Structure 1
Amino acid sequence: MTSEPARPTRMRYVLFDVDGTLIDALSNQRRVWGTWAERYGLDADEVYRVALRTRPMETFAQVAADRDPRECLAALHELEDEDVRSGVYAAFEGASELLYGLPPGSWALVTSNYEHRVRGRFLRTGLPMPDVIVDAAAVEEGKPSPVPYMRAAARLGAAPEDCLVVEDAPSGVQSGLRAGMTVWGVNAAVAAEGVHRHFATLREAAPHILAFTSGSQGDAAA
């Protein structure tokens, strides 16, 4: 009598936001936008408040409608690229161990930034790079649209129900939820609306994320 072959375990995937989730870049973002605002004689705090919830071209339309948006974007890119080269920032505690602990091919980055900057920051902080990165240039619709996370899942060959999104910002949370994925929030004092689970830090979330990919966590949304 032969026993039935074991059913293969269904692979699970993790889709990470970058800035604020894996990389501590909040002060860098504020400084870059502050310098940009000074160039145009704008209130730095107001500009940053708008920039936190919109893509750059939408920010320009709100805070500098009388300026050439292409010129605004070129100035912002110049400042951001310089920050990658000389800015001081670090990976969040636990990020390196978490990413190195994930199975190859099981995770991706979904960022509103650009891939060359992500690679520069990861290189400087010692974080590994995945095979799949969906950046601002890869999609026409940014977060909170579901498109960025859906694009990452498609490139991984993953079904939305098998994906865990790890985010720190409300717009990213909404992007993951609209894509039909499980969404966990990290690195925020208060849980964003709609998250299935909330962790105060990435380090606190790390063992649960690893358990999700291994399938040992019975209820990912618990």
Structure 2
Amino acid sequence: MRPGRTKYVLFDVDGTLIDALSNQRKVWGTWAELYGLDADEVYQVALRTRPMETFAQVAAERDPRECLTTLHELEDEDVRTGVYAAFDGASELLHGLPLKSWALVTSNYEHRVRGRFLRTGLPVPGLIVDAAAVEEGKPSPVPYLLAAEQLGAEPGDCLVIEDAPSGVQSGLGAGMTVWGVNAAAAVEGVHRHFVSLREAVPHILAFVSGPHGNAAA
């Protein structure tokens, strides 16, 4: 980190700021039932792959576009009616950051992110890089590089907050500092690890406000 330069924070959403694990399991469970598949088996595949890859593995005989349309309808319904909770510390953290110093980088879609933030009372930043904004999603570095470009930031001045291996790989590939949160064990490659987002809050705020940005301390 270079002293005197503006620091930026790029957040993943699901699993990092918003606890959506039960919602994801419910959506995939409903989707599996509609196609006569075992919900637990489908969910285990969905945890490791993107939707189109999941369909190829669990429902290869089905039209993947139809599968995706059904999944999107279920996800949109869940945003409208599901129960969501922000992780402890998320509101304090986001309200404590300068408005133009942070962004969201998600594999989900912007309208769903906005819906979830509205449901949980979290502030929405000026920039959301979603699945529709890039041709290559995580673990490609493209999403995080695009966020930095649109913020006018150098990758070396950016801190990525993630909870999943694919997101960590994406941030590292972009040449950014990556901290992991909300996991008992550190994801391979992270520069710092915090068991909870709450634990990370003061360190993230210090990263942005501190004169030297001691990111790897």
Within-5 A mapping of 1:57-136: 57-136=52-131
Say which is worse superposed, 55-64 or 125-134, in terms of deviation: 55-64
- Aligned equivalents of 1:47, 1:217: Cα separation in 2: 46
What is the aligned partner in structure 2 of residue 55 from structure 1?
Answer: 50
Letter in 2 for 1:140: E
- Find out whether 1:163 has 2:169 as its counterpart: no
Task: State the TM-score, normalized to the length of structure 1.
Answer: 0.94
Among 30, 45, 48, the residue aligned to 2:25: 30
State the secondary structure of the residue aligned to 1:209. Answer: helix
| Equivalences, count | 215
User: What amino acid is the match of 1:36?
Assistant: W
Q: Could you say what the CA RMSD is over the residues aligned between the two structures, in angstroms?
A: 1.1
2: CA distance, partners of 1:145 / 1:57: 16
Deviates more, 1:56-65 or 1:79-88: 56-65
The structure that has the greater radius of gyration is 1
Contact 1:53 1:171 in 2 (8 A): no
Q: Structure 2-normalised TM-score?
A: 0.96
Aligned equivalent of 2:142: 147
- State the SS of the aligned residue for 2:48: coil
1:11-63 Cα shifts (integer Å, max 9, x gaps): 00000000000000000001100110111111212211121122111111121
Q: Secondary structure at the match of 2:99?
A: coil
Deviation per residue, 1:48-103 (Å, 9 max, x gap): 11211221111111211110011000100110001001101110011001000001
Identity of aligned residues (%): 84
| In 2, Cα distance between equivalents of 1:177 and 1:151 | 14
Structure 2 residue aligned with 1:5:
none
Find out whether 1:21 has 2:20 as its counterpart: no
The 8 Å contact of residues 7 and 213 in structure 2, kept in 1 or not, is answered as no
For residue 3 of structure 1, what is the aligned residue in structure 2? none
User: Contact 2:142/2:170 (CA < 8 Å) preserved in 1?
Assistant: yes
Q: Does residue 24 of structure 2 align to residue 11 of structure 1?
A: no
Large movers: runs of 4+ above 2 Å: 215-219
Q: Identify unmatched segments of 5+ residues in structure 2.
A: none
